[in-house]
Each structure stands twice: as structure tokens, then as C-alpha cells.
A and B are shown apart, each in its own frame.
Chain A
């Protein structure tokens, strides 16, 4: 074990002395900050309440049947109506920005309400206003259905109460947490390729070979160094997230899963490097291989990203626990297989 630790320490020391590992941390910070900004930005476009509570959408209502929609709109706090008997007047007010949207409501011969909505184009508020128009019209549709319920054979299911939940909540667990836990794994695998390909390429393997290290020791040591990095980074992220108020429900199990994947991906990287020796080919096949492995996990009943999301949000099922175990077993089996192979064949000349 001591020999392997020496190799691992040497690898980590070379990473430290180059200091470019800082870049890896930087990338992850960037990804986290960027996705948070993005999510907050998108949410503010969709849902005014989440950013400022004061934004009131003003609808200019016109058309013969406008009396039908006004009470529906007025019921809500964030919506206000201005009635116009003349459509041109409404359009003028819309044009100078006094109202956010125009709804022209009239009736078709068969009794339907026909709404022609006009939303501002190419403006920061467009998305917001369109979302609000949608909300108004859905409420109106429900009211109309209620009025016409006797002509319906099936009755719509009553809507559950509205809750003031941030749409960002789901995003954090289903996108951000899996991203931050798997990104370090890929980077680790990629550096594992480099660590081995470099020895071949620079011819320094000969130097290692004259030391009392066996081939297995060298490969073990290199994989140990890279395999440890990913779970450490993922752990740091989970700690940071819970520190920031995002409760992570099953941190230990998530870390187990990340460790499993880390072992598996680093083994893949090492295998590619041992088989092809040349960095360009090994890296290419490794990245394509990772792509294949990860997309094929989507065909499983529960993908790894989904498993991490479920664990983090606190809804793991029996299947989730089983799959964490399965990932660990498969990865360890691959690792043991690679060691056997190296022990039998050595590192080649």
C-alpha cells in the first residue's frame, strides 16, 4: 500500500505544483454561478412574484364580450383591467406603453369566446406578459367550462390550491446537483488518461520500472490519486450547497455513488491509456466511451443523474438504493479486471 501511496502522492504533487487544478475548481464555480444566474434570470422572466412582488400586469380589454372576462381578471391581485370600447384607443395606449397587453374578446356564432391577444414584441417583458396572458385565459377557460358544465359528459378535476413555490427549487436538484457531482468525475477520468499516457509519451515509464514498483502498483497509485479527487470535490459542493440553504438529503449515499462512478470512469480512462498509449487516441476514445456509457445509463429504469436528484431531494426508492449498490459493484469489478490484466501482461515495453 505504501508504494501506491507514494505514486499517488507524486501525481497529486505534480498537479499541485502546476496549480492548474485551480482551473478545475474555477470551472465548477463558474458552472454553478452561471446556472444559478441563468435560473434566477429565467425565473424572473416567467414569474414576476419570485423577484419583485410589485409588478402588476395591466390588460386593455376590448371587444363585444369584454364584460365576460373582466371579473375573471379582477379577481387576481397581480392583474388589472382597463376597458376600452374602441379598439384603436386600446392599441394607442398599448403602443405608448400604458398597458402591457390588449385582449379583444368577442363571441363566435357557436357561443365560444374568441380572444385575440396582443403582446409586446422583443422586449424584456415579453415572456412575462405572455405568461400572464396565458394565466388569465386559462382562468377564463375554467370559468367558461364551469358555466357550460351541463353540456359536458366528463367534469374537469378541481385544481389543487396554488402555492408560492419557486420553480428554481426543482432545477437545483434535478440539474445543478447532478451536474456538480458528475463534472469532477469526467475531469478525473480525463486526467487519469493523461497521467498514464504521459509516462509512455515522455519515456519516463522506464525510470519507474527500475524502481521496486510493480506495474500494478504504478497503475493503482495513479488511479488512486485521480479517483480520490472527484468524491472530494463533490463532497465539497454538497457541503457548500447545504451551507447555502439547499438541504441535501442523503449526502453519504450520493458520495458513495460518486465514488462508484469515479472508480468506473477512472478505470475506463486508465484502460484507454494502457491500450492506446498515445494521448490523442486515448482521450478521444475515452470521451466517446464516457458519452456512450452515460447515454446508455439513460436506458436503465433509473439514470444516475436521476438517482442523484432523488437522493438529494429526499425521495429515494428501493430501486435507487439498489442502483447505487449496482454501480459500485460494476465499477469495482471493472477495476479488479483491469488490475488482473495489468498483473498478467505488465505495462508493455
Chain B
């Protein structure tokens, strides 16, 4: 790759786009951007109004319940009285919840009645919550705050060392010291500022188990899920009363995900357009015949977009870092922002890489739209969903946004954690660019072929002989990793008895596809002889490559998710690490996966020699064999 050429192409890309913009487009764009800027604070101020007025509550103005109902926009107040079928006055049948009045028959005044439907019950639950909040509000106006808030609370999080899954990994360094002393709110009581509202002394951290600060830097432990669940954007207003306790659930992740990931969706739209543009009416021909390499062209076309995304992310990061209390002072803001951007860049790269492949594969603009929307949805949920569980569950470590949340909280993250969260993304982005670059040539760019065939072409272009099977299998590992993590993220909420078998089959399928699809591509392009013998050779080589690549995921075992039962199911079987047993069994465990992978891939390779249906059929068989093997290993290892 030649840096000067790359930069020149990047400059062309920018000037071409700038040249296409006429005054009108710039004007409209500015107006739209200004509107976005002006609307955001206004909408943010109004808040989320999704559940306004969804429940109808009948309550008369005299009732003590009238005030709470009137204050909560979730409720639409209606007339409590209605006519029963008997002609008498009773609770309004249209309302979900009714507070009875004196005129009504068959219900005592002040009694709360509700519709016996799911909606009625949901309305009642919401009603109860609202009354609780109203009571707290009422009490905060009391002069005797000791009687109004008779309970004060401080909550502390502490590791239960006895619960760590024994034998999951060789290292026994438990994370004992992450006791997050959580002060619920400041010392001042909100509102009245009355005496007696000061809360318990803060420094009670030492009163715990006192198991000292050993092992807080234990070797390669699971990415910590942090401690405490204070709000990112400032603390709670009132002192430590029971209603101030908030389960650790950072809704801020949602804000972050949208602040960082949303602009990426717009940028990849433009980027994918650029790529597809080259392919329409053979416009890319000129660049292709010029004395620059494919890599130069692709890097040059990608560079402006990557820089743009990084710039947007940096601005966002600095903006958020200034808004959050964790960073004070210019250097703190800068380091927080830098940490956030370093975590977001791999997401941007993966977005670009998949948009590049989308642009190379799509046949028309319409198809490209479907592809980019799909990419946006998948990648956004990959980044966003695990991050919801920051502080709650180790599964959060999958997403780089978790690192962003940590950086904004002022918690440092280790290099190991960074590698765990972003490694798969970097690798996937690299492989995707390589795949797309494989079809960046005349015979593929300017022809119309369905996406699956293009995909096979792209794979085929990476095959140069039998040994390529090893390489391709090994390179598929990051996708397998991402796919499996996605499956874990999807399934971990279900009860283990249900999610485990589904997960085992899903993982087996992902791995079998990854091992065999390039073998199929090779046969489909008549690269190899369609005999069983060559199928066996290719199957063996592909299985071997996958095995070798998989050993690299031992890193995931060490850094990754050993605490999580599902993580063990996903990755525990492949490494055989952390099992204390005789050397012979260990050796068996080391080579059993090799045998498994080569056997199952040979099965699918045999099917791939025939046609698509045979391939699909043998894929099912191989998946079942694989799942059965995994099940045996998981139950054997307990």
C-alpha cells in the first residue's frame, strides 16, 4: 500500500463529494442540521412521553387519590361514575381503575376497584407506584422530617466469594475487593433542608468483611462488572430513603448508544453509496486500470469516512465527558474522551467494513438500503444490548460501549478488557475488508449476481489452493465469536434449562457453517475435484484451521467469560482449559475437538461435492453431531 496514493484517492473522494454539492443542497442540509440541533434539547426537555394517558382512572376530585392521578401523565382521568346494566350508578365500566364514591352501589366509598383484565391489573400496578411516589412527595413537605422519613439507608455492594464457580479456571484469584461503597445521595435533603436529614456517615467501607485488598489485580479475571449503580449524570437529590434505592441499571447506556452509534448509521449510508456508485455504469473502471493497487483504492475511499466518524465520535465524547461529573478539568475530560473514542473506533470500523461488503454485493440502490438497514439494526443491537447490563452482568463485557460507560464513570478499564471487547470487532472488520477487496475486480464489480453467489465469489477469490482452507477456517473465528456472543446475549435471559440446549445447537450450527462454507465455495467454482477423497482432504484441512483458530480463543477463556455459565458452554468445550484431571484425559480433551472438527467438516464437504441441497442436508447432520458432542462435554465437565 502506498500512502501517497491512498491520500490522493482520499482527497479525490472528498472533493468529488464536495463538488456534487450545489448551493441548494448545502442550504437544505444546513437547515436540517440546525433543526436537529434546535429540536434535540426541546424534545429532551419534554422527555419520553410514550406512555402518556394509556390508562384511564376514574377518581372524583374529592378523593385523596385525585392529586396523585392528576400529577402522573400516564393516567387519563375520567368520570368515576357509570351506569350499570341494572340502571344503577356504579363504577365507570370504561375506566381501568375506579376509586368508588358514595353514590355507587356495591362498592364502599374510597375502595379501589379495577378491571379484571391484563390492562386493568397493569393500570393498578402503575397506580400503586404513583401513589408511593406521591406519598414521598407529600412527606418531603412535612416539618418533622424524622417522622416523615423514619428510615435511612445506605447500600453497599460486596462480592460473595463463596459463590464463585469452583474449578472454572485455574486461577483462584477472586475479585474480593470491589466493594462499591454506595452513598445514596448527598448529605443534604432536597427541598426543605430540614434538620436531621443528614445521612449516615460515608466511610463505613471498612466495616465489611475486611478481606483486604488482595487480588484486586488478579491475573486475567473476568472483566469486572463494576460496582454500584449510581447515576451517571449526577446523584440522587434526596437523602438515603428506601425509595432512593435504584437497582444498578444504567439507562444512560441507551443515551450513549444512540449518541455514538446513530451518526454512524448516516455515515455508512453515504459510504455504501460511494462504493456502489463505482460499480454503476462501470465508473470504477478508470481507477481499476490506473497504476494503483486495489488496497490503495479501498483504503483511500474509506479513509475520509473513517476520519469523519472518528471526528463525530470525538465531538460526542467530549460533549458527554463535559456533561458527566466523573471528569473534572481539561485533562480528565480529554482522557475520558480519548478512552471513549478508542472504544468506539472499532465499532466504526466494523460498520464501514460491513457497509463496504454490502456495497460490493448489492445489485441496486434498493437492495443496498435493505442491506444497510439490516447492518444498522444488527450492529446497533450488538453494541447496545449487552451494554444495558453494565454493572449487572458479565455479559456486558462483550460490548465496547461498556468500556465507554466505564470511562465516563471514571473507572479505568484494563488492556485485557479492551482486547476482549474490541478484539473480535477489529478482526471481523479486517476480514470483511479482505472479503470485499477480493471481489473488487472487473469481473465481479460490474456484473449482476445475487448476494449469496457474490459471497461465494468473494470466498472463492480468497482460495488459492488446498491450504487456503486452513486460513479461511481460522479467519472465520472472529465471526463465529461474534455470532456466538450474539447468541449468548440473546439467550442468557432465559432459564438455563431452556437456553442451554438451544445455545448448543445454535453454536454448533454457527461453527459448522463457518468451517464448511468456503469448502462449498471451492466446489461450486470447480476449484477442486468433486470426489470424496478431495472432500476428505479439504474437510480435514478446514477442520484443522478451525481448530487452530479456536485455540486462539483460549484467550477468551482466560480473559473472558468463565464466570458465566453460558460463556463456559460456549467456549469451555473448545479449550479444555481449567479442568483438573489426569494428563491423559487432558490430552484427549485437547485432541477431541480436532477430531470433531475434522469429522464434521468432512461430512459437510462430502455434501458440498454434490449440490446445494446435499450441502444443506449434510450441514444439518454435522450440526447434530457437533451439538451432541458439545452436550457430552458440557455434562461431563459438569
Contacts and interface: CB of A to CB of B under 8 A. Distances in A.
Contacts of B55: 315
Task: Specify which of A94, A122, A163, A292 lies most central, judged by the most chain B CB atoms within 10 Å of its CB.
Answer: A122
Interface string A6-48: 0000000011001111011011001101100110111011100
B378 A30 contact: yes
A94 B161 CA distance: 9
Nearest to B138: A154
B392 A127 contact: yes
A284 B266 contact: yes
Contact of A287 (B163, B269, B493): B269
A122 B208 contact: no
A194 interface: yes
A140 B509 CA distance: 52
Nearest to B63: A157
B155 A161 contact: no
A313 B36 contact: no
A310 interface: yes
A241 to B, nearest CB: 13
A34 B388 CA distance: 13
Given A144-B151, A317-B53, A288 B36 contact: yes
Contact of A137 (B28, B151, B175, B269): B151
Interface stretch (A164-172, A232-240, A321-329): A164-172
Given A152-B147, A157-B65, A191-B369, A34 B152 contact: no
B39 A27 contact: no
Contacts of B373: 23-24, 27, 187, 190
Interface in B41-74: 42-43, 46, 49-56, 64-65, 68
Contacts of B127: 160
A3 interface: no
A165 B118 contact: yes
Nearest to B157: A121
Contacts of B363: 18
Given A165-B125, A309-B51, A126 B157 contact: yes
B490 interface: yes
A276 B29 CA distance: 11
A173 B178 CA distance: 39
Contacts of B53: 302, 306, 310, 315, 317
Interface stretch (B223-231, B286-294, B594-602): B223-231
Contacts of B43: 295, 298-299
Nearest to A197: B365
A198 B490 contact: no
Nearest to B196: A110
Interface in A108-147: 108, 110-124, 126-127, 130-131, 133-134, 137-138, 140-141, 144-145, 147
A40 B365 contact: no
B125 A117 contact: no
Contact of A299 (B42, B207, B277, B371): B42
Contact of A162 (B20, B128, B151): B128
A289 interface: yes
A303 interface: yes
Interface in B236-288: 241-243, 245, 247-249, 265-266, 269-270, 273-274, 277, 280-281
B24 to A, nearest CB: 8
A169 B274 contact: no
A33 B39 CA distance: 32
Contacts of A118: 155-158, 208
Contact of A133 (B155, B280, B393): B155
A94 B208 CA distance: 11
A345 interface: no
A147 B17 CA distance: 73
Contacts of A157: 64-65, 68, 131, 134-135, 138
B446 interface: no
A193 B273 CA distance: 12
B112 A160 contact: yes
Interface size class, chain A? 35 or more
Nearest to B208: A91
A51 interface: yes
A76 interface: no
Interface of B: 17, 20-21, 24-25, 28-29, 32-33, 35-36, 39-40, 42-43, 46, 49-56, 64-65, 68, 76, 96-97, 112, 114, 118-119, 121-122, 124-128, 131-132, 134-135, 138-139, 141-144, 146-163, 175, 178-180, 196, 200, 204, 207-209, 224-227, 229, 241-243, 245, 247-249, 265-266, 269-270, 273-274, 277, 280-281, 362-371, 373-374, 377-378, 381, 385, 388, 391-394, 450-451, 490-495
Contacts of B25: 276, 281, 285
Contacts of B385: 34, 38
Nearest to B31: A292
Contacts of A281: 20-21, 25
B124 A163 contact: yes
B130 to A, nearest CB: 9
A84 B88 CA distance: 58
A80 interface: no
B142 A278 contact: no
B496 to A, nearest CB: 10
Contacts of A285: 25, 28-29, 32
B152 A27 contact: no
B109 to A, nearest CB: 13
A280 interface: yes
A122 B273 contact: no
B39 A283 contact: no
A305 interface: yes
A165 B365 contact: no
A130 B159 contact: no
B627 to A, nearest CB: 21
A91 B158 CA distance: 10
A119 B155 contact: yes
A151 B147 contact: yes
B160 A159 contact: no
B147 A295 contact: no
